[in-house]
Structure 1
């Protein structure tokens, strides 16, 4: 499956389209839950492009796991069904198939440069609304929040300007509107 967002694969003369999916699972916040979820993916050869997890209830009893993966519609449905059968999992939703949803990532991007490349990095950061959270005479660490595509574009523009290091959170996602999962 790889890191490709979309692609085609031929199976018995038919074309199956791979697509990126954001899956959100509400789980009991207990030891070993994340290991079971990740084990389901690795045991079946599914790829996780990004994964975020944190407690989401006031008492800390439940956590939300957001997983970005890719596959055919059938593979994504199978992943959701298998996740939903895990004991500590309370609810699973394929946000991509459900409809409008909000997904955001945060990245820290370190750029080391001087002179014109340094000035250009600052101009691009301003255009992307990235914030310099660390500055030295030769480097910046920019903090940027947005869609995966926005972060990818920013990173691509920083590469020729002295990009040396990246740290990304992965997707945090929720369904739009008053619905909840």
Structure 2
């Protein structure tokens, strides 16, 4: 479709609905594939802190439902992150018909490089920043203070760091 072509608003809304449904299906399929491994995924994300905690210290759950909902929440966030290429493609497929040819050529390298840098930033946070930050934070506790991190608070903190470095 050329830029000069116009379509009624309802056509655009139907196309947008289709693209949003494709994104939701992608996230849900990945989530359903990963939900069985929810506790394993949480242990993988918690490993940098657990390695730095003092001997005998453990993570705690201060809410009754935290042990159940926190791994599921993390699995959903991982599903969103893993489905990012599909979501970006759906955004691209919705917007591309309205762009000029020279604009379309610029988008593909931009999307590929930004996706790659996003995942590299997350890996950098996990393998470099987390061990350093958690080593510092757990070993600076005053004497007599037991380090026991809440699993829900830890997830919120980790996701904030992931987004800061991604």
TM over 0.5: no
Which has more radius of gyration? 2
Pick 1 or 2: higher relative contact order, CA cutoff 8 A, min separation 6. 2
Q: Per the shorter chain, which TM-score range?
A: under 0.3
TM-score (ref. length: structure 1): 0.24
Name whichever structure is richer in strand by fraction: 1
* TM-score under structure 2 length normalisation: 0.25
